[in-house]
Structure 1
Amino acid sequence: MKSIIICILFLFSTLKIMAQTPCVKGLVTSKNSPVENINVKILGLRSSTKSISNGTFQLNGVPKGEYEIIFSGIGYKSERIKILIKSDTTIVNVDILSLAEDLSDVVITGVNRATQLRKSPVPIAVLSKKAMDQNVNTNLIEAIVKGVPGVTAVTTGPNVSKPFIRGLGYNRVLTLYDGLRQEGQQWGDEHGIEVDEYGIARAEVVKGPASLTYGSDALAGVINMIPYNPNFEKGTMKGDFTTNYQSNNGMIGSSLGFAYVKNNWKYIIRATGKAAHNYYNKIDGLVYGTAFKEYNLSASARVDKDWGFSKTAITYYDNMMEIPDGSRDSLTRQFTKQILDGGDDIKNRPIASRNDLNGYAINPLHQHIQHYRFYNTSQFKFGASDLNILLGGQQSVRREYNHPTFPNQAGLYVVLNTFNYDIKYNLPDFSGVESTIGVNGMYQGNRSKAATDFPIPDYDLFDIGAFYFAKKTLGKIDVSGGVRMDRRNINWDNFFVGTNANTGFGEKVEANNSTGNLQFPSFNKNYYGFSGSLGLTYNISDKLLIKANIARGYRAPNITEIGSNGLDPGAHIVYLGNRTFKPEFNLQEDIGIIAYLKDADISLELFNNNIQNYIYQSRLSDANGNPVVIVPGNLTYQYQQSKARLYGAEFTINLHPSSAKWLSFNNSLAYVVGLNQNKELLSNHPKTAKYLPFIPPLQIRSELKATAKKPIGFLEKPYIKVDVAVFADQDKFYALDDTETFTKGYTLVNAGVGSSIKSKLGKTVMDLFIQVDNIFNIAHQSNLNRLKYFEYYQSSPNGRSGIYNMGRNMSFKIIVPF
């Protein structure tokens, strides 16, 4: 009994002492506006917290005495204040300084906490909406390619661009929408990213393995497309109307968006539509089969509270694109069109009419892609830590119509359903170490519907991975890294294909159907991957830093690489996979130096990437060297696997003279070499098999821009610019079996003007952008343009082979805010 009384008295005395322990509270502002997520830490004590949405903070349990308190946050200069705690409550208010934009861009891609761009050892580039608006783009990936050195795209016409980072693409580049991984049929050559370009406010690009955070499919890097987040006075509604016309293919784009902020809620809704007829170049004229129509709808609601935030969003993407095949009249080189199924002779088709070429109606041979996305992303704050949860569902419906006599019969019809989950916990700082643990992955199911061709089986996929990431600042050195383990299961049942007695087309049949053929034998396999990274940034000074990073990436084979066995009608390719393929692993080393000088920003990034079990496409030939033709009029590709190495560099020098602040001269260079290290293949084909496919040539981009620093009449800071894009010859290509051929270099000159237009009251009436690409109408072919290989004749009257890229294109874009 005596011991119990002593314990009770001790408890009461402890509570009394705690009750008398002073607290420190106050307000954090920047230019008198409240700032949230600012770290508040007292040196010498394990007391830390973060400012909440109204800028306030509170630290409890601080003993009386003299201390130094530090305020720090992304994008703001750290502040140190000495305080003397005498009373029970001490008030500390601070106004912190926002850093210059070029030194403090906040990125969330490829890392687990928001971080300053300069502190990340991983090469990361950021592209703003302003930069995207000032270029001619027919899709978002094209805008990123023009703005980020080291990023290229494999294209199939103007509306299909699949991103490549430093020579690696397809499932090796992970694309995110607002942090949610984008899941469509990425294995297809002939469709792009299902995102509304007008609704994206920012794009972030990680160049290098990001498997640590995302697991498989981020072997080459990550592109995160971030939609607009309203940040204006509460209780008001704002919006914009964007319209864009492009002269070459008559593209008309319109987008209407609204944003409303009330109390702690933010609401956004946007609707977009685009339509274009076939594009033009002076070699081919109007290129038959390249028209498209696209529609987008999106809506979101977000609530911000002291406990964190929660955002729920939904998007819908609908795109109808024609399917080009490149068939022509042998003498006139005019494009022809398929009008028959059985008995179709590719070299004796009727010539496409003028109405077929310049009309906006979509021809019967087209693909129809629909993508639905619903997700919630939430953050829950617990003092100095926070929990982030992202859950999302997606459905991708892809139909390819390739039967002119049965226009409503899809050749390919697949439905892909995906559930994504991503949970991260940012732990409290411990001894200056910021760390994150997390688990993420997805469940996916693909099903074929009423189609006639089946390039892949119906399959199920389950993916899960766990990781630990940490970073710490040691004086002038920022160190970060982590480890991750992944498991992916892919399985499918026996898949039988038969012949429809009424149409003569192929169809999926049940296993007990006596007329069916087993096209995809059952398969079940687990793939495991261990990945990680370690990097550092050495801040020699505020203006000069060196970065170094080494990372191991992992990628499980995708469905076509292990399971394909049939025609993809939209690609005009019969794919043959290999179910014995192993996962890809790479080890990439990056080193970079960045200098922020008075009159220039300079950066040099070097990389070396060694890949185990690299998977690539190669044309299939018979023993006599002749192309294997399984389906007439379509190429046959078989996947190969070997070691590979890629190395290269990116160099930028952006001049902005302090004596002429109205002038800027930005320059970039990107170079990558891809080496095939298949010893057996190289022993027999040392020259033709030396390099990897789809490697871009040396590229140089320069832009000279003059921007008025003061209004000129009703024009608010108008600009004029000229830019040049130089693409060298690509003579380092995968030439075995004519998979690729030499591509001649070319130079494109572009120019543009633009300005905000103000009313007499100083309000922005509109933003106007006029841009001309390929001013001199240069005839050119990109080595990454798949249409370059759409050719049915050994020789042609004009000596030209394949389809050329778009010619001169003038763009008029108007953005009207309200």
Structure 2
Amino acid sequence: MKNILCLLAVLFLYTAASSQNSLTGTITSKTNNEPLIATVYIPQLEKGTVADFDGNYELKNIPDGKYNVVISSLGYATISKKINFSNNEIVPENFQMEESAVEMEEVIVSTPFHKLQSDNVMKVDRISTDDLNSSGAVTLADGIKNIAGVDLITTGTGIGKPVIRGLSSNRVLTYTQGVRLENQQFGDEHGLGVNEAGIESIEVIKGPASLLYGSDALGGVLYLNPERFALSGETHGDLSSTYFSNTLGTSTNLGVKTSGEKLKFLTRGSYSTFSDYKAGTAYRVTNTRFNEKDLKAGVQYAGAKFKSTLRYNYNRSNIGIAEEIGEQTHSKDLQLPFQEIDNHILSFDNTLFFNNSSLDVKAGYLFNDRREFEDDPALAALRLKLNTFNYDVKYNLPELGKFETIVGLQGMFQNNKNEGEEILIPNANTTDIGVLATSHYHLEKVDLQAGIRFDSRKIESEAARNPLDVDFIPALNKTFTSFTAALGAKLDLVENLSARINFASGFRAPNLAELTSNGVHEGTNRYERGNANLTNEQNFQTDISLEYRNEHVEFFANGFYNVVNNYIFISPTNETIDDTQVYDYLQNDATLYGGEFGFHLHPHPLDWLHLESSFETVTGKLNNDVYLPLIPANSIRNTFRVELHDGKIRKFSSAFVTLDNTFDQKNISDFETRTGGYSLLSTGIESSFQLQKIVLKLGINGTNLTDKEYTSHLSRFKPDGIFNIGRSINVNLKLEI
């Protein structure tokens, strides 16, 4: 690592004397040859510009190399073209764009070759946080359940854990600022700990991604893309605030960013506070109140041969722990018991550009300080401190014909320490190391991608408690290893119709809770007993998808079949300790299967009209035909949406009506109960206005408009008969300069 830092310093100084290339040209409409105000962006360099009113553009200071240049404009099909730059040349390139009612495509960052989704071998879903906020989402976690195939295990409105095709917790890996998020995610009552302010978009890989990310990506990846820096020579600021009627909550954030030709800077702060949520007309759920403070900052330097980005995120969450329906109040002051959680995320991302290749070096440091207060607001009964350092080194080899190849080294060192009276998991160190290689082969109508990886994870834990007591936890020293591989293809079958087929294996080493637990877990009200003999979960998944797209309609059908060997699950026993039922961690082979299906109708020339519908289903079983727990119920989502563009003062307006239908969940595990189906209606409208240099955005939306009293199958309040959140009318105001 020391040698790498020295190399980076030398190249940093070298950039001042290095020559660079330029890209220049015009962007016009293919239909009438009129100039377009479009964005020109090179994702790998994070560098872009906007064409002027005459369609002219110029992008300067481009290092030598071959890069994908992405041209995008609202109402037109996105263009992605690979262009080679060398020898301080000015590259002329004119683009003609075709009109399209389809939303602008974005480059997928979570996959290794950074292509548009239409060119990607893996099926990846992407949604912007602006869209999540427009739908009335209270938190970032609350919003992602709008993606087909994604759901949420909830503890009130303040805690949510993503579920991808029936898999959750340590089987779903979250990435933020380009580094893996580690925040004691083994606990059901442990949320993401990331605020949506400063997050530009969310990408979801639904299926094994161990090839790219190692252990814990067995079920999928939630990839949070931080907001981009401003384009060169621009300065922007924005202030937004949202009011939520159900919780009497407010969420406010302020951001500023400015960019020169080589140096860029941004910062954003936010504060949110909520009272207890109201469950229909019945009651407020006592102590589901929470508040959150969040600060994000970033600086980037881009030279001729070198790009470096430093980002920092601090998040403080104070979350009430609901136990029973008690005093009905609008208070936002925390009451016992509650959690107080600090998350610090520091990431350092560097890219070295060579003539025909590049080297990416990422390092991350994360500190999670989780405190739980039960009887004394000044003394934490439970305190877990988690320090994590991770690194990711990837070398993009020179292209060989139509082959693109990446080789990489990834690793992590993690230390977990207890400082409270209660112990859920012992003090421990975890060390990961993984090596990988993956290649992409491009033909005119076929794209192929394949890769292989080896991982090793070592877990060393200390003994905890008195050896003579029943809740003694012995020391542990175990190493888990695995090979994983992936093979996929995208085929253009006929005009407008494409297919993807992917085969991928994944693995997950058992976590500390599964290996070492021995005691009452207050958050789940059960005595959990770990199993030191647990082995890797290993899975193999087949994905098949079809997509059809023309100027009037889009259709997709995704199917998957996932075989998981040595699936780890918790099971009740007939034993009790301290008057609490004992649950053991066991293993058995399991199978999950299902898919997502949908269409999007946007009839031309009525491009402002959109009708969207999607259906998702997943079934999970152990080999003994017992259903897996926490599997989302089948659901259908229908949305009618109108979008209007380009007024003189009103720049954009949209309105939507959505009906979510969730079916009965009858396929339940041994310790679950059936959950009835329900329908939720939501609607919203928003507009943006250009007032000289200020853009004003106004929006109002309503969720659960019928004030339906219902309980989600994935709600942790379900065993207590507590309903989910009722009607909420939400108002948003945003100013951009």
Task: Give the structure-2-normalised TM-score.
Answer: 0.88
Partner of 2:214: 215
Q: 2:500 aligns with which of 539, 547, 553?
A: 547
Structure 1 position 253, deviation (Å): 0.8
Equivalences for residues 1-40 of structure 1 within 5 A: 27-29=23-25, 31=27, 36=42
C-alpha separation between the residues in 2 aligned to 1:379 and 1:220? 29
| Greater displacement, 565-574 / 585-594 | 565-574
For residue 217 of structure 1, what is the amino acid of its counterpart?
A: D
Partner of 1:798: none
Q: Is the 8 A contact 2:63 2:304 kept in 1?
A: no
**1:56–1:316 distance in 2 versus 1, CA, 3 Å:** closer
For residue 592 of structure 2, what is the amino acid of its counterpart?
A: L
Partner of 2:335: 363
Equivalences for residues 316-395 of structure 1 within 5 A: 316-326=314-324, 335=325, 352-354=326-328, 357-395=329-367
**1:283–1:560 distance in 2 versus 1, CA, 3 Å:** farther
Partner of 1:447: 417
Q: Is the 8 A contact 2:43 2:107 kept in 1?
A: no
For residue 113 of structure 1, what is the amino acid of its counterpart?
A: F
Larger % of strand: which? Answer: 2
For residue 108 of structure 1, what is the amino acid of its counterpart?
A: V
Question: Any idea what the Cα deviations from partners look like across 1:727-763, whole Å, max 9, x if unmatched?
Answer: 00000110x2xx210000000011101110232x4x4
Partner of 1:288: 286
Q: 1:747 aligns with which of 655, 676, 679?
A: 679
| Greater displacement, 305-314 / 570-579 | 570-579
Partner of 2:639: 703
C-alpha separation between the residues in 1 aligned to 2:117 and 2:684? 29
For residue 525 of structure 1, what is the amino acid of its counterpart?
A: K
Question: Any idea what the Cα deviations from partners look like across 1:715-736, whole Å, max 9, x if unmatched?
Answer: 33222211000100000110x2
Partner of 2:60: 54
The higher radius of gyration belongs to 1
C-alpha separation between the residues in 2 aligned to 1:520 and 1:183? 23
Partner of 1:605: 558
Q: Is the 8 A contact 2:516 2:531 kept in 1?
A: yes
**1:279–1:33 distance in 2 versus 1, CA, 3 Å:** closer
Q: Is the 8 A contact 2:80 2:116 kept in 1?
A: no
Structure 1 position 566, deviation (Å): 1.7
Q: Is the 8 A contact 2:276 2:285 kept in 1?
A: yes
Question: Any idea what the Cα deviations from partners look like across 1:489-535, whole Å, max 9, x if unmatched?
Answer: 001122225xxxxxxxxxxxxx8xxx977711111010011101000
Partner of 1:131: 131
Q: 1:769 aligns with which of 699, 713, 717?
A: 699
**1:616 and 2:616 correspond:** no
**For 1:595, what is the secondary structure of its paired residue?**
strand
Structure 1 position 299, deviation (Å): 0.9
Q: Is the 8 A contact 2:321 2:336 kept in 1?
A: no
Identity, % of aligned pairs?
Answer: 29
Task: Give the structure-1-normalised TM-score.
Answer: 0.80
C-alpha separation between the residues in 1 aligned to 2:40 and 2:678? 52
C-alpha separation between the residues in 1 aligned to 2:352 and 2:644? 45
Partner of 2:277: 279
Q: Is the 8 A contact 1:455 1:575 kept in 2?
A: no
Question: Any idea what the Cα deviations from partners look like across 1:413-444, whole Å, max 9, x if unmatched?
Answer: 11000001111011010121100000112000
Partner of 1:151: 150
Structure 1 position 224, deviation (Å): 0.8
**1:728 and 2:663 correspond:** yes
Partner of 1:816: 735
C-alpha separation between the residues in 2 aligned to 1:117 and 1:701? 22
C-alpha separation between the residues in 2 aligned to 1:377 and 1:57? 17
**1:708–1:216 distance in 2 versus 1, CA, 3 Å:** same
**1:635–1:727 distance in 2 versus 1, CA, 3 Å:** farther
Q: 1:596 aligns with which of 534, 549, 570?
A: 549
C-alpha separation between the residues in 2 aligned to 1:56 and 1:619? 61
C-alpha separation between the residues in 2 aligned to 1:27 and 1:258? 28
Q: Is the 8 A contact 2:42 2:68 kept in 1?
A: no
Q: Is the 8 A contact 1:691 1:733 kept in 2?
A: yes
For residue 488 of structure 1, what is the amino acid of its counterpart?
A: R
**1:420–1:542 distance in 2 versus 1, CA, 3 Å:** farther
Structure 1 position 261, deviation (Å): 1.3
Q: Which runs of 5+ in 2 are unaligned?
A: 1-19, 28-37, 46-57, 72-77
Q: Which runs of 5+ in 1 are unaligned?
A: 1-23, 40-51, 60-69, 82-87, 327-334, 336-351, 498-510, 623-627, 683-689, 791-801
**For 2:183, what is the secondary structure of its paired residue?**
coil
Structure 1 position 324, deviation (Å): 1.1
Q: Is the 8 A contact 1:36 1:54 kept in 2?
A: no
For residue 776 of structure 1, what is the amino acid of its counterpart?
A: T
| Greater displacement, 476-485 / 308-317 | 308-317
**1:315–1:743 distance in 2 versus 1, CA, 3 Å:** same
Q: Is the 8 A contact 1:28 1:34 kept in 2?
A: no
C-alpha separation between the residues in 2 aligned to 1:199 and 1:27? 30
Structure 1 position 704, deviation (Å): 0.3
**1:266–1:97 distance in 2 versus 1, CA, 3 Å:** farther
C-alpha separation between the residues in 1 aligned to 2:79 and 2:311? 33
**For 2:190, what is the secondary structure of its paired residue?**
coil
Question: Any idea what the Cα deviations from partners look like across 1:348-379, whole Å, max 9, x if unmatched?
Answer: xxxx334xx32011002111111111110111
**1:659 and 2:578 correspond:** no
**For 1:548, what is the secondary structure of its paired residue?**
strand
Partner of 1:417: 387
Structure 1 position 71, deviation (Å): 8.8
Equivalences for residues 551-562 of structure 1 within 5 A: 551-562=504-515
**1:779 and 2:709 correspond:** yes
Structure 1 position 765, deviation (Å): 3.5
**1:474 and 2:409 correspond:** no
For residue 161 of structure 2, what is the amino acid of its counterpart?
A: K
**For 2:132, what is the secondary structure of its paired residue?**
helix
Between the two proteins, the alignment pairs up a number of residues equal to: 687
**1:516–1:645 distance in 2 versus 1, CA, 3 Å:** closer
**1:437 and 2:437 correspond:** no
